């Protein structure tokens, strides 16, 4: 995919006030998206949701004006998790959905994520079409054709009902004490609400957003908070979302972290027993332990590039339902069209309730292979070219032979800076560290 000016791996993102996240550019972006996604609708409508950043008000207004100029209507949900917008876009027959969020980033960043009418992230062709219109001057439809805006007042209860409905009939959370960290983000209302409605006793943190504290020492990127809260309140499980709640990590009753790999392990092992798991998609960073556990159950496991969009593409190509990333992006396509932190957490709670087993026991069977990550700065205009250097290829081969088939070596060139990312994974932490550092030294020597 060619490099673009606006779209990255997950929509448009950056520091507010700097390109591409300026009011003028977001206004133009809204118009371009309205033109492209609304083209096949006589009178289209967009769903717009957001997280709790102070800049959400600014960007929401800019998008609303751009979409109106393109002649499409707008339904505003207010703060709602990203997967909630995907759901509502599909449910109400909208021509597109927009989420104003920078996910796990700090408050001074923000971004624009898009969904198609099917509730899935846009394909490359559609993103390219929107980008092409960004270079054209804006035009405005006739006054009688301007889009109108309204509040979608039942957005939160509709999403909450969907989340509850992903549990099988008769499965509730009565008797469980659950600690929840909503990162002062988009799930601060709906997360605790759904869990309480299902019968759980809920203890919360990160539910007092002020526009600036999103993800600050809270949420899935700061898991220490949920681990501490579980131990302090004696919860059976802890759940931590990121700012837009498309990611989740868990903590067991002892306050030990269970990340996306652990969640993927629990769900794949449980579903494989009932024949509901044809295969699992992970990324290059998914721990080898998950892959080996799947193989032992006779479940095919494949890897893709880092990024939940690549996981989704592979799942759709193979007609599978389960995949995810260590960061907590978990896709369960039989329950949601995109990564959904709350739905993923409920899926694990379902396993706990049906089996009667605590999370520590369910996740305890996963052998975590030590990983060593090293970023190697290289004085090279195109770091990716180094990956074809014969010296580096020979070094990687030597490293893999020393791992004896019980480990992995992954080299990735950064797309944004002159850096080669080295990851070595194996059974022994000391050996893994030495091999990673030796490989890093070889890259430096080859680059020089």
- Which entry of 103, 116, 268, 272 is annotated as an active-site residue? 103
d(CA 168, CA 171): 6
Residue with tokens 């908070």: 225
d(CA 131, CA 35): 11
What pTM was estimated for this model as a whole? 0.93
Per-residue pLDDT band at 137 (split at 50, 70, 90): very high
Per-residue pLDDT band at 382 (split at 50, 70, 90): low
**pLDDT at residue 210 in the model:** 98
Q: Is the pLDDT of residue 380 over 90?
A: no
**pLDDT at residue 384 in the model:** 75
- Mean pLDDT, residues 409-433: 88
Q: Is the pLDDT of residue 388 over 80?
A: yes
**pLDDT at residue 3 in the model:** 61
Does 118 participate in catalysis according to the annotation?
no
Q: Cβ–Cβ contacts within 10 Å for residue 381, how many?
A: 7
Residue by residue, DSSP assigns 298-336 as T-EEEEE-SSHHHHHHHHHHHT--EEE-TTS-EEETTT-
Length of the chain: 448
Domains belonging to the chain, first-starting first, are 12-153 (3.40.120.10), 159-363 (3.40.120.10), 371-447 (3.30.310.50)
The tens digit of pLDDT for each residue in 254-271 reads: 999 999 999 999 999 999
CA angle (233, 234, 238) in 5-degree steps: 85
The tens digit of pLDDT for each residue in 323-362 reads: 999 999 999 999 999 999 999 999 999 999 999 999 999 9
Per-residue pLDDT band at 1 (split at 50, 70, 90): very low
- Mean pLDDT, residues 307-319: 94
Q: Are 334 and 315 in contact (CB under 8 A)?
A: no
């Amino acid at each position: 995919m060619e490099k673009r000016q606006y779209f990255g791996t997950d929509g448009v993102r950056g520091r507010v006030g700097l390109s591409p996240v300026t009011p003028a550019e977001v206004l133009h972006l809204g118009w371009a998206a309205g033109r492209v996604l609304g083209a096949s609708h006589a009178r289209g409508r967009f769903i717009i949701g957001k997280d709790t950043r102070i800049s959400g008000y600014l960007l929401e207004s800019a998008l609303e004006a751009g979409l109106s100029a393109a002649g499409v209507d707008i339904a505003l949900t207010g703060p709602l998790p990203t997967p909630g917008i995907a759901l509502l876009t599909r449910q109400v027959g909208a021509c597109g959905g927009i989420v104003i969020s920078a996910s796990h980033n700090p408050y001074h960043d923000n971004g624009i994520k898009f969904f198609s009418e099917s509730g899935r992230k846009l394909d490359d062709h559609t993103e390219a079409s929107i980008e092409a219109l960004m270079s054209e001057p804006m035009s405005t439809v006739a006054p009688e054709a301007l889009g109108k805006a309204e509040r979608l007042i039942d957005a939160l209860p509709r999403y909450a009902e969907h989340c509850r409905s992903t549990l099988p009939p008769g499965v509730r959370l009565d008797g469980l004490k659950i600690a929840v960290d909503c990162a002062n983000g988009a799930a601060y209302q709906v997360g605790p609400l759904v869990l309480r409605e299902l019968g759980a006793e809920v203890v919360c943190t990160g539910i007092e957003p002020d526009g600036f504290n999103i993800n600050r020492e809270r949420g899935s990127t700061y898991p220490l908070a949920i681990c501490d809260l579980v131990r302090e309140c004696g919860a059976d499980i802890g759940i931590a979302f990121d700012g837009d709640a498309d990611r989740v990590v868990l903590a067991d009753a002892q306050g030990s972290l269970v990340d996306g790999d652990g969640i993927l392990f629990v769900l794949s092992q449980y579903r494989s027993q009932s024949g509901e798991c044809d295969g699992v998609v992970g990324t290059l960073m998914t721990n080898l332990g998950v892959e080996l556990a799947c193989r032992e159950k006779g479940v095919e496991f494949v890897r893709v590039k880092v990024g939940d969009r690549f996981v989704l593409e592979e799942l759709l190509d193979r007609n599978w339902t389960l995949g995810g990333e260590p960061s907590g992006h978990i896709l369960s396509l039989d329950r949601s069209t995109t990564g959904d932190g709350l739905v993923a957490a409920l899926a694990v709670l379902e396993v706990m309730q049906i089996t009667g087993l605590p999370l520590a026991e369910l996740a305890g069977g996963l052998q975590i292979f030590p990983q060593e990550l090293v970023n190697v700065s290289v004085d090279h205009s195109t770091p990716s070219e180094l990956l074809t250097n014969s010296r580096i290829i020979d070094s990687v081969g030597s490293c893999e032979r020393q791992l004896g088939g019980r480990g992995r070596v992954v080299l990735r060139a950064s797309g944004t800076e002159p850096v080669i990312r080295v990851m070595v994974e194996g059974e022994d932490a000391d050996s893994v560290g030495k091999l990673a550092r030796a490989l890093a030294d070889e890259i430096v020597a080859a680059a020089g």
